[in-house]
Structure 1
């Protein structure tokens, strides 16, 4: 073993536990994907179950709810991606204009805290504050003459409630990324703009946004790989049969089919299709990131 390999040995030993965990929980279970092409019977096991080829996929697309579930997933995920770009950028620009460091740090801490709470905790909070009967949000709407809204039980409101609550939880974390990018913009550009008579809005449009454009493009392209991930944990804790029409997504559909209805082969087929499409989207997004933001993994 040469000197270079000997120096790198501690680094390889440090990564070994993580690699073992990934192998156990991510690679070994891949063998179970053969259930998507079987009529899986738990009593027989994978090796003895009957092979049915593409029949599970054909049946999946024949279900009346399949296209609805895929549409819900894409619709909610795309709205989350758009909100996840616009809100943090806007917040970061506003915070960047704050001159008082103590106030700026306080605001950053307040908007960052929800990121550390699980959806199990936040779901209980949201169910209470959005309750049509005693929720504080509907009480405030009643003060201005608006009838109570069942945010978590109305198909017209549920997707938007999901997006807004998700952004409330996560935008503080994303804001830090853009604040870091803003710190790299040359202050001399702003000084020159002031001399030329540019106001705050023109400085933002012609200096701030172009200065962080590589980061915006990078995060936007990388987010394309999450189009089929609408957030299982959040929706699972907030939805109900009342909003299956607008809130049921691929992950919750797989959960109900596989664990509640014991349709293991069908749920595996749905999950496999999602994984294949997600792999394609992730590959495309990394290709776009490499081309437009000069971002490469290897």
Structure 2
């Protein structure tokens, strides 16, 4: 297959590069300086020369709090660019895999969100991702796969796990929010799901996170516990649970955004969902090996 991945520097693109390095596909990763995805003309010019069978969009504006003031930049990448990619793929008869977020939901349901549950984003980032989903489903419903995910981390780039490891090394104690509930997701598993969807042209809306449920507080406790076992930390510090009200942020976040993966288990038969603690352990092994 001829695969084009939009994005080169992010966590998902990093994991896709690792997986695709051994795959029998012709793969091109496009960075920002290679193509301007906010311009349909730039997409058509660049991608026409590559003639992809499948496009995987691993590019996104993910600065959730900054999005509240950088509305234009956020919307350009998360909504306008997605519509542009969908329009190109429609005329080129290519399949498009796009990654979305749990932030399209309001977080008030109290039970895992189904793929067809009502979308009601609470902030600018979530709204931009919801608008991207809507545009894609309007333009390319039969030849696209939307994969919603949450709490993504990897050994590459900046993320919650690496931030926690740094703070646990530097601080005498930490306070971590315990009233936002979701599921951590290792980017490696997400990349495998995206690739499988692109290889099989699996159309529709799906949810992909690791298995299980956690608060950010639970996640932090597990990071410290497993990192200590692996020698990535050399001391234990107190980690205190705090409510969101004690840590105000510009963007409103969903209090409960666990994603139901029943449909994913039924369809993504070659991709295996693994509990988040096991995936965290695997990522920390990788981090230790890299260090």
TM normalised by structure 1 equals 0.22
Compare the two structures and name the one with the higher helix fraction.
1
TM normalised by structure 2 equals 0.23
Compare the two structures and name the one with the higher strand fraction.
2
Larger Rg: 1
Q: Which has the bigger relative contact order, CA under 8 A and spacing at least 6? A: 1
